[in-house]
């Protein structure tokens, strides 16, 4: 599939969202088999459908601030050359916007500091926590 297809899917979701809302779509977590090995990784179907990105520790945030302004942010793992030797190459923040068609990419390790700023002032949230999609309404 082309990146245009994933972008079209994100735009279709944003078109259905109300102004002042955000969708948070989480990647699937890694499943540990034993103390030193994991099961083969399988991405969350929801996350894959909107991104085509196959790394754990990721979050796609789609923000519809008003009828004409949409914003997409991807939180993902930072590049780590030592870890990449053992577990494979990571996309990182520099390459993610061009490769995945998101507006911005931030380090997943900064999610606690950055997510509040992104969501501040919004009144509705669609949460897709990895495997199950839930609708939540929350006033900030």
Q: What is the pLDDT of residues 83-126, one digit of tens each?
A: 999 888 999 999 999 999 999 999 999 999 999 999 998 999 98
* Structural domains counted in the chain: 1
Please compute, for residue 136, the number of CA atoms within 13 A of its CA located in the half-sphere on the CB side. 16
Task: Give the β-pairing of 104-107 and 124-128.
Answer: unpaired
pLDDT given for residue 131 in this prediction: 53
pTM of the model: 0.88
Residues 33, 81 contacting (CB under 8 angstroms)? no
Percentage of residues of the chain with pLDDT beyond 70:
91
Where residue 117 sits, what CATH number does that domain have? 3.40.350.10
What whole-number distance in Å separates Cα of residue 43 and Cα of residue 95? Answer: 20
Q: Other CB atoms closer than 10 Å to residue 6's CB: what's the count?
A: 20
- List Cβ neighbours of 80 (8 Å cut-off, separation of 6 or more): 90
Residues 131, 122 contacting (CB under 8 angstroms)? no
SS3 for 57-111 is CCEEEEEECCCCCEEEEEEECCCCHHHHHHHCCCCHHHHHHHHHCCCEEEEHHHH
- What is the span of the domain harbouring residue 54? 3-137
Which has the closest alpha carbon to 115: 99, 127, 101?
A: 127
Q: What is the pLDDT of residues 25-47, one digit of tens each?
A: 999 988 888 888 888 999 999 99
- List Cβ neighbours of 94 (8 Å cut-off, separation of 6 or more): 79, 105
In this model, does residue 133 exceed pLDDT 70?
no
Q: What is the pLDDT of residues 45-80, one digit of tens each?
A: 999 999 999 999 999 999 999 888 999 999 999 999
Using only the alpha carbons of the chain, give its radius of gyration.
15
């Amino acid at each position: 599939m082309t990146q245009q297809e994933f972008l079209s899917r994100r735009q279709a979701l944003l078109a259905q969202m109300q102004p002042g809302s955000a969708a948070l779509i989480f990647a699937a977590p890694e499943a540990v088999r034993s103390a030193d090995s994991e099961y083969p990784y399988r991405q969350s179907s929801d996350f894959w459908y909107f991104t085509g990105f196959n790394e754990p520790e990721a979050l796609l945030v789609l923000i519809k601030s008003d009828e004409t302004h949409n914003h997409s942010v991807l939180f993902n793992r930072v590049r780590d050359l030592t870890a990449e030797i053992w577990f494979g190459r990571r996309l990182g923040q520099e390459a993610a916007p061009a490769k995945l068609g998101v507006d911005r990419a931030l380090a997943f390790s900064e999610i606690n500091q950055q997510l509040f700023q992104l969501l501040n002032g919004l009144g509705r949230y669609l949460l897709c926590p990895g495997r199950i999609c839930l609708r939540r309404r929350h006033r900030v």
